[in-house]
């Protein structure tokens, strides 16, 4: 702490403070996060997570880690200062003046490259939103705030944490399915939309309406003046089935928009992309090695995961049909739609991203979307009553809270909801046990990054929330 002069407090959140500081020796400016350390050892480890992750993520499009230390019951993380502030502030400054398409493409390309870098290392950000994207004085874009990220296959405790900001959360999360790389893609789609339209894609005045729109991928069409490629990309990123969403690898190398994006990437990124493009086919034995590495939980052979596979659409035309893949429900979140079946369908007419006309039909019933009996039995079903209670709980909260990060935890049956709906308790959050960030997982990978991967043993967070409510009654 002695080595830095505090210039000003730039944020005061639940975790502690964010300070703009100047390093005395270099006169360089940095951001210093001052995080109150909890008392429990696991809580302390959890707090260290952001520092550990950030220190591993060296990339031009990720906020650079500088230093971290502990003093007086606080953890300090010193990181690069991004003088341009966050993207949300920048969008608000625009008022109604649209960003030039080239600027959107440049920023988005950089976000993709940064996110691809963390996905390459099997890390999920899990809280991508315009508030967590930063701009430097020279116009570079950087991903920040790794406080919600998870390293796949790290500590088991991690798997019991759900994090997200409702406005940016993908349909599968509302359906209590695992967070996966495509969930980050959905969130990036929300940010891209914000840059294009200067508004959020899923505007809602109630939680029901928000969840319904998200689960249907029902967004207001983008302004017509934008290039066709942006319309197309947004539509792809808002595919309700994560399996149908392009990965970052695809977006950057073989998507209809890739060429446009590559124009905005620095040369070294371009080379990387081309290199991976040449080796993008994933041999089966290599895949199995990785599947084993991932605890045989994800991707390849159906026998190893005990789930059915099917040929699914291949919007990118990359020959993925040859590869058996974990099957995701093709439909929007069945359960949530079921729950909302009686809710007012405020958004059907603007259901632009849906490829199925019948979703906007007045006769629509969620169950009718499931055509095969077998499909029903293989899909993960709610084993508890549907989340009416969740919705009624959420309805008591102003929908503006949907822009905040929620964390649902399962710390030994204790209160699992930390976030805007109840006082935050950082002390007993579970997280890494010991130094669970496995360095080998952070080595660069050469396999096909178009592969879906997901968090391990995800938490039945709605179930936990329901238990909490029931216990509280
Ligand atoms: N590297 C950075 N450079 C410039 N500004 C930053 C940087 N990191 C954070 N900020 C700004 O500091 C403020 C606090 O950010 P921080 O991410 O620490 O907390 P928050 O996002 O406000 O809260 P929470 O993390 O609880 O969601 C925000 O206004 C953010 O834009």
| Interval 194-207 mean pLDDT | 90
User: Which structure tokens are listed for 321?
Assistant: 């049909």
Ligand 1, atom 15, residue with closest C-alpha: 11
Which of 69, 84, 87, 83 has its CA nearest to residue 28? 83
Those residues whose C-beta lies under 8 Å from the C-beta of residue 78, and which sit 6 or more positions away, are 4, 21, 30, 31, 32, 65, 66, 67, 68
Q: For residue 193, is it within any domain?
A: yes
Ligand 1, atom 31, residue with closest C-alpha: 86
Residue 430 is a catalytic residue: no
pLDDT at 190: 97
Looking at the structure of the chain, the number of domains it has is 2
Q: Is 33 annotated as belonging to a binding site?
A: yes
Range of the domain at 31: 1-81
Q: For residue 143, is it within any domain?
A: yes
Same domain, 3 and 61: yes
Could you tell me whether strands 150-151 and 123-124 are parallel, antiparallel, or unpaired per DSSP bridges? antiparallel
The CA 11 to ligand 1 mean position distance, Å, reads: 6
pLDDT at 233: 95
User: Which structure tokens are listed for 329?
Assistant: 């429900």
Helices (H) and strands (E) in the chain, counts: 16, 12
- Going edge to edge, which strands form the sheet with 162-164? 162-164, 406-408, 417-418
297 lines ligand 1 (CB under 6 A): no
Q: For residue 412, is it within any domain?
A: no
| Interval 265-274 mean pLDDT | 58
131 lines ligand 1 (CB under 6 A): yes
Strands (E), 189-338: none
Atom of ligand 1 nearest to the CA of 80: 1
Q: For residue 428, is it within any domain?
A: no
Reported as type and span, the H/E element at residue 33 is strand 29-36
Give, as one character, the DSSP assignment of residue 266: -
220 lines ligand 1 (CB under 6 A): no
Quick check: 150 and 123 in contact, CB under 8 A?
yes
Percent of the chain with pLDDT strictly greater than 90: 32
Express each pLDDT in 449-459 by its tens digit: 444 566 655 55
31 lines ligand 1 (CB under 6 A): yes
User: Which structure tokens are listed for 420?
Assistant: 């805007």
The CA 32 to ligand 1 mean position distance, Å, reads: 10
Quick check: 104 and 230 in contact, CB under 8 A?
yes
pLDDT at position 143 over 80: yes
Reported as type and span, the H/E element at residue 207 is helix 207-216
Highest-confidence range of 27-36, 167-176, 375-384, 397-406, by mean pLDDT? Answer: 27-36
Express each pLDDT in 12-65 by its tens digit: 876 789 999 999 999 999 999 998 888 888 778 777 877 787 888 899 999 999
The CA 377 to ligand 1 mean position distance, Å, reads: 44
Average pLDDT over the chain, rounded to an integer: 67
Q: 245: pLDDT confidence band, cut at 50, 70 and 90?
A: very high
Query: How far apart are alpha carbons 389 and 408 in whole angstroms?
Result: 15
Atom of ligand 1 nearest to the CA of 127: 27
Indicate which CATH number applies to the domain containing 100. 1.10.510.10
Q: For residue 232, is it within any domain?
A: yes
Instruction: Write down the ipTM of this complex.
Output: 0.95
Q: For residue 4, is it within any domain?
A: yes
């Amino acid at each position: 702490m002695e080595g830095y002069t505090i210039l000003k407090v730039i944020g005061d959140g639940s975790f502690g403070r964010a300070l703009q500081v100047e390093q005395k020796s270099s006169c360089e400016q940095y951001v210093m996060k001052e995080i109150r350390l909890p008392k429990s050892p696991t809580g302390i480890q959890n707090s260290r997570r952001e520092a550990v992750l950030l220190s591993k993520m060296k990339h031009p499009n990720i906020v650079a880690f500088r230093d971290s230390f502990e003093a007086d019951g606080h953890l300090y993380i010193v990181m690069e200062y991004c003088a341009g502030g966050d993207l949300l502030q920048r969008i608000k400054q625009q008022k109604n003046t649209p960003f030039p398409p080239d600027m959107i493409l440049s920023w988005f390309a950089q976000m993709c490259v940064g996110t691809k870098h963390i996905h390459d290392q099997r890390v999920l950000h899990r809280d991508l939103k315009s508030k967590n994207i930063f701009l430097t004085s020279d116009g570079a874009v950087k991903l920040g705030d790794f406080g919600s990220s998870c390293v796949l296959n790290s500590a088991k405790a991690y798997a019991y944490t759900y994090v997200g900001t409702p406005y940016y959360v993908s349909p599968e999360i509302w359906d209590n399915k695992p967070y996966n790389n495509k969930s980050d893609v959905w969130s990036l789609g929300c940010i891209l939309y914000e840059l294009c339209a200067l508004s959020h894609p899923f505007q809602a005045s109630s939680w029901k309406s928000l969840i319904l729109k998200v689960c249907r991928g029902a967004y207001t069409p983008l302004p017509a003046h934008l290039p066709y490629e942006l319309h197309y990309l947004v539509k792809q990123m808002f595919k309700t089935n994560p399996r149908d969403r392009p990965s970052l690898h695809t977006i950057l190398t073989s998507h209809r928009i890739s060429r446009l994006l590559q124009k905005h990437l620095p040369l070294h990124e371009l080379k990387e992309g081309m290199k991976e493009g040449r080796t993008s086919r994933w041999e089966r034995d290599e895949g199995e090695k990785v599947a084993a590495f991932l605890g045989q939980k994800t991707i390849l052979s159906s026998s190893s995961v005990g789930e059915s596979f099917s040929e699914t659409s291949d919007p990118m035309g990359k020959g993925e049909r040859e590869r058996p893949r974990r099957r995701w429900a093709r439909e929007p979140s069945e359960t949530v739609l079921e729950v909302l079946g009686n809710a007012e369908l405020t958004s059907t007419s603007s259901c632009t991203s849906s490829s199925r006309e019948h979703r906007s039909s007045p006769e629509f019933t969620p169950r009718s979307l499931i055509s095969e009996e077998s499909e029903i039995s293989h899909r993960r079903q709610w084993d508890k009553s549907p989340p009416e209670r969740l919705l009624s709980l959420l309805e008591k909260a102003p929908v503006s809270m949907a822009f905040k990060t929620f964390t649902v935890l399962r710390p030994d049956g204790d209160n699992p909801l930390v976030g805007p709906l109840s006082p935050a308790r950082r002390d007993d959050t579970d997280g890494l046990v010991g130094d669970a960030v496995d360095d080998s997982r952070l080595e660069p990978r050469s396999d096909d990054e178009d592969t879906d991967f997901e968090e391990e043993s995800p938490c039945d967070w709605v179930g936990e929330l329901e238990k909490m409510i029931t216990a509280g009654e």
